[in-house]
Amino acid sequence: MKPSLRDGTVLLVLAIALGVVATVVRAQDPVKAPDHSLLFENDQVRVCEFTAKPGETVALDSRPNHFAYMLAPAKMKFTTADGKVVEREYAAGDIRWSDAVTHTVENIGDTQAKALVVELKGPAKKQKK
């Protein structure tokens, strides 16, 4: 059976879709984004410094369970992948826990947001004595 134009079109659409998915997956690692600086990483945690200028929106990213320690006051809007929107205000020194999430983050305040983000990689391991 000879391949048809329709078969070629389907293959082209699939190839493009796979390319888009691969690009989105790569973009979801927050450490590679310009608003994150990797400070420390081992097999149990990853620590990043996060900054966002007023009005800046951070692209969709995925994070494991994590907490953020706010280094500066901020007003932020979080939009999850399923469309749920939450706005929060923080003071410097606030700590926020979050279960694993895929979201976008927008600084809706007038000042630069700055935080240390500590991502947990898995269950704690026993220390050797």
Give the CATH number of the domain where residue 63 resides: 2.60.120.10
Structural domain that includes position 42: 30-120
Determine, yes or no, domain membership for 84.
Answer: yes
Determine, yes or no, domain membership for 116.
Answer: yes
Determine, yes or no, domain membership for 103.
Answer: yes
pLDDT at 31: 58
Into how many domains does the chain fold? 1
Q: Which DSSP string corresponds to the chain?
A: -PPPHHHHHHHHHHHHHHHHHHHHHHHT-GGGSTTEEEEEE-SSEEEEEEEE-TT-EEEEEEE-SEEEEESS-EEEEEEETT--EEEEEE-TT-EEEE-SEEEEEEE-SSS-EEEEEEEE-SSPPPPP-
Q: pTM to 2 decimals?
A: 0.70
Determine, yes or no, domain membership for 19.
Answer: no
Determine, yes or no, domain membership for 3.
Answer: no
Q: From first to last of its 129 residues, what are the pLDDT tens digits of the chain? A: 566 666 655 444 444 444 444 434 444 555 566 678 999 999 999 999 999 999 999 989 899 999 999 999 999 999 999 999 999 999 999 999 999 999 999 999 999 999 999 999 987 677 676
Determine, yes or no, domain membership for 91.
Answer: yes
